[in-house]
Amino acid sequence: SLLLAIRQTFSQELKVDANKIKLKYEITKYFNEDDINDKDHYYIGGFFLEGATFDITNMIIKQSTSIQLYSPMPYIKIYFLTKNISYQKYRRRNSYVFKCPIYKNIHKSGYTLTNNEPIFYLKLNSRERKEKWIERNISGVLMMKYE
């Protein structure tokens, strides 16, 4: 998996066991790879939201206003924390944070693939309760471009 490869790369750079690294992410405002000038982190692009859109001004998920089924997401910055570094965990449940499942392709049923579980969950802030997005079956898709 892509995230496992990133974790292993971080562990090799730091000379630390990969199990001691926790990957974190941050949604950026970059839609164009050329705008990113940070060479110290990994950035993943090619994410699309199905059935919703992402407002980069307010950094929230919102209802799509177009008839477009898939809307692009900005690049996501991947960074790490080692388990030796303390970080605060927020155990409190937030009703306005939607854990959006991200799939590796648009076929979410088991008819075409034997295993199409989400590859990970992306936490998206919202002004509306997370149940709205769950009921609408909102999800993300990673569509990598090959050149």
Of the candidate CATH numbers 3.40.190.10, 3.30.1300.10, 3.40.50.1220, 3.10.490.20, the domain formed by 2-142 belongs to 3.10.490.20
Between 126 and 9, whose confidence is greater? 126
pLDDT at 146: 47
Is the per-residue pLDDT at 91 higher than 50? Answer: no
The whole-model pTM stands at: 0.77
pLDDT at 42: 87
Domain ranges of the chain: 2-142
For the residues 80-91, what does the mean pLDDT come to? 58
Between 129 and 2, whose confidence is greater? 129
pLDDT at 107: 63
pLDDT at 60: 95
pLDDT at 1: 65
- Cβ–Cβ < 8 Å for 100, 138: yes
Three-class SS state of 99: strand
pLDDT at 71: 92
Say which residues have a Cβ less than 8 Å from residue 37's Cβ, sequence separation at least 6.
Answer: none
pLDDT at 112: 47
24-74 pLDDT, tens digit each: 889 999 999 999 998 878 899 999 999 999 999 999 999 988 888 899 999
Percent pLDDT > 90 in the chain is: 41
Between 19 and 114, whose confidence is greater? 19
Question: DSSP strand E in the chain: where?
Answer: 21-27, 42-44, 47-50, 52-55, 60-63, 70-72, 76-82, 97-103, 120-125, 139-142
